[in-house]
Structure 1
Amino acid sequence: MRYGWFIFPLLLCNLSWGQMNHPKASPFARIEQEIGLSKITVEYSRPSAKGRTLFGNQPNGAPGLVPYGRIWRVGANESTKITFSTNVIIGDNSLEKGTYALYAFPNENKWEIVFHKNLTHWGDGRKNYDPNEDVLRIALVPTEVKDFQESFLISFDDINHNETFMNWNWGTTQISIPIHFDTKAIMKLQIADKLSNPPSAQTYYEIARYYQEQNIHTNEAKEYVERAIELGGDTYYFHRVRSLILADLKMFDEAITAAKISMKLAEKEGKDEFVRLNQDNIAYWKALSITKQ
């Protein structure tokens, strides 16, 4: 107890000089989105509107939170970072895979979106920002949406194997950035590599399914799925894909037969969803077969 008077001041000193971890006004967010065989990662902070004028000028003429014509970090705190796992096309412009800082120059009727190679700036870089370090700039028209977005949001929508839109929403303002990956070229290389070795039944099936989903190389897809069945035996998903390919080739009677096989196999494994899918396809193809006759 005799040392208590000495320990207590030390504790106070540590509390006084230690840095407190407190909640952030603009919390950090990290999102990942797969597009085909590629991945996009975005790291940013999310400021909130809190009743403030966001873009342009306030009603009294004073600048809003993000004045027109001035660089914006696309969020808060550190500069927003975006990473592409493979080469990408932004609008009509090619961009190499890698990590970039995202900036924007908002205006009332047009925004300039910037992919910048210098990742060291805090926020917008202020006087250290150098436009010569821009890798890509594109111009986009902002749109006004009905639903008010309180906290700044970056999201991805309209996703398929090859492309998506990266949406920025804050207040009633939305920016949509078209992003495209050449997934077909990536798949072509992968398929060639897989076929150069003795392929398994699963390999043949996956190639056939990809071709069917993309509506390409339909005759080759038929050969591959039939090879999968020869090597791997009867499965509901092998015959399911074969039925879809046969229907794509307008061979509706054969497609119905394949779907019935798939349905019976799915029933045995308790795959109710695939039972229903096959039933729907059989009914649809029967109607098409009658029309064809």
Structure 2
Amino acid sequence: MTAKKVYFVFFLIISQFAFSQWESRDIITNDNITYPETSKLAKISQTIGITEIDIKYHRPAVRNRQIFGNLIPYGKVWRAGANESTTIKFQDDVIINGNKLKRGVYGIHMIPNKTEWTIIFSNNHVQWGSFYYDQNEDALRIQVKPEEHAHIEYLKYDFENLKDNSLNIALLWASTKVSFKIEVDEINSTLDVIKDELRTLPRFSWRGNREAALYCWLHNTHLDLALELINRSISYERRFENMYQKALILASTGKGNESSILMEEALKLGNENMFLYVGREALGHHNSPKKAIELFKITLKYFPESYKAKMLIGNAHGWMGEKEMAIKAFNEALLLTKNEKEKTNVMSYLNRYKN
């Protein structure tokens, strides 16, 4: 290999190494070099309902020091981490320990004490630590009780007690834990997003309007809006999905005769599997097992020999933790099966609940 070729290969190797080192880093915009921080940056994120919650903070270590009441004095504002402000971002409006807080980004500060802590959500999230903290910039203050906890060397935030529409955020460091509850109004937050989305492409399709109407019906809310949306869906294309949906909405608003007429039309456009699919939507996509059971029972009204409808009713009861009801439904589904393949299908569900 010639000297030129050796040099060229060496250049390619060095170039590739340099690219691999910097391809994932930001462009340098100041005259500082990059070096490891003592308190490492951390980011955590969690979604409840459709609301994303993001926390960004730095993690100091205990390092054999007495933390609260010494390194972090009682009665003084603390940055709730290290380095620049700890921040929390809410994608939508939230409720914190019963107090409403608007969507946005907030700086978190805390005032530790032996028996009670103050947690502060500041409108100023860009300051360095708590050195220039100004109470006039507070968006919310809450009081919480500290708890004893197993030793945590590096400060951390964690999401606990996760539910569909709520969770607890906990700060853990040394032998102390403090936490507060976050709740979201899932239905109204989702409807706000749906209304915005219906200003765009979904508005001009049967599917987008029908899915929005389905959400309203599943949560028994804004049924007047649901009727408006489903009528728009039908105006674009008359299909089983929207005719069936309109029949359901009318039944829920006390218009039984009109609902029955539309249901007959839906039957001409659909079949057993199409009826079952709507129930599966409610169960799987929308986490609405009670409404799913209602839909599977409607399927049985028009298709009384449907072993699948009974089986899916069992699945919905199991979803809710109602083991006995699930087993009962699966056994009823077995009585409707017509061959070994169908029996095997049901037994695959039933066996999950036998032990």
For normalisation by structure 2, the TM-score amounts to: 0.58
- Name the CA shift for 1:243/1:170 in 2 (closer, same or farther; >3 Å): same
Show structure 2 runs of 5+ residues with no match: 1-29, 195-209, 215-229, 234-241, 246-273
- State the alpha-carbon separation in 2 of the partners of residues 44 and 75 from structure 1: 6
- Name the CA shift for 1:254/1:170 in 2 (closer, same or farther; >3 Å): closer
SS in 1 for 2:288: helix
Give yes or no for the alignment of 1:38 onto 2:44.
no
Paired position in structure 1 for 2:183:
180
- Name the CA shift for 1:144/1:192 in 2 (closer, same or farther; >3 Å): same
Paired position in structure 1 for 2:17:
none
Give yes or no for the alignment of 1:280 onto 2:347.
no
TM-fit CA distance, 1:109? 0.8
- Name the CA shift for 1:254/1:132 in 2 (closer, same or farther; >3 Å): same
**Quick one: which of 85, 110, 114 aligns to 2:116?**
110
Letter in 1 for 2:332: T
Give yes or no for the alignment of 1:98 onto 2:104.
yes
- Name the CA shift for 1:141/1:253 in 2 (closer, same or farther; >3 Å): closer
Paired position in structure 1 for 2:288:
211
TM-fit CA distance, 1:243? 1.5
TM-fit CA distance, 1:223? 3.5
Paired position in structure 1 for 2:165:
162
Moved more, 184-193 or 172-181: 184-193
Paired position in structure 1 for 2:142:
138
- State the alpha-carbon separation in 1 of the partners of residues 293 and 166 from structure 2: 27
Paired position in structure 1 for 2:68:
55
Give yes or no for the alignment of 1:222 onto 2:299.
no
Letter in 2 for 1:23: P
Give yes or no for the alignment of 1:70 onto 2:147.
no
- 8 Å CA contact retained: 1:42, 1:80: yes
- 8 Å CA contact retained: 2:57, 2:85: yes
Letter in 2 for 1:135: A
- Name the CA shift for 1:251/1:267 in 2 (closer, same or farther; >3 Å): closer
Q: Per residue, is there more helix in 1 or in 2? A: 2
- State the alpha-carbon separation in 2 of the partners of residues 167 and 173 from structure 1: 10
Paired position in structure 2 for 1:27:
40
Identity of counterpart residues, as a percentage? 28
Letter in 1 for 2:313: R
| Deviation digits for residues 237-280 of structure 1 (CA, Å, limit 9, x no counterpart) | x865421446869586444334897x967977xxxxx9765313
| Deviation digits for residues 81-121 of structure 1 (CA, Å, limit 9, x no counterpart) | 10111211111111111111111011111100011111221
SS in 2 for 1:123: coil
SS in 1 for 2:71: coil
- Name the CA shift for 1:242/1:47 in 2 (closer, same or farther; >3 Å): same
- Name the CA shift for 1:171/1:242 in 2 (closer, same or farther; >3 Å): same
- State the alpha-carbon separation in 2 of the partners of residues 228 and 186 from structure 1: 31
TM-fit CA distance, 1:65? 1.6
Equivalent residues in 2 for 1:3-18 (5 A)? none
- Name the CA shift for 1:175/1:279 in 2 (closer, same or farther; >3 Å): same
- 8 Å CA contact retained: 1:243, 1:259: no
Letter in 2 for 1:41: D
- State the alpha-carbon separation in 2 of the partners of residues 187 and 240 from structure 1: 30
Alignment length, in residue pairs?
242
- Name the CA shift for 1:279/1:143 in 2 (closer, same or farther; >3 Å): same
- 8 Å CA contact retained: 1:29, 1:46: yes
SS in 2 for 1:257: helix
- 8 Å CA contact retained: 1:204, 1:224: yes
- State the alpha-carbon separation in 1 of the partners of residues 333 and 163 from structure 2: 27
TM-fit CA distance, 1:129? 1.9
Letter in 1 for 2:282: I
TM-fit CA distance, 1:44? 0.5
Root-mean-square deviation (CA), in Å?
A: 3.7
Give yes or no for the alignment of 1:150 onto 2:225.
no
Q: Per residue, is there more strand in 1 or in 2? A: 1
SS in 2 for 1:149: strand
Show structure 1 runs of 5+ residues with no match: 1-16, 57-63, 213-217, 269-273, 285-293
- State the alpha-carbon separation in 1 of the partners of residues 317 and 175 from structure 2: 48
For normalisation by structure 1, the TM-score amounts to: 0.69
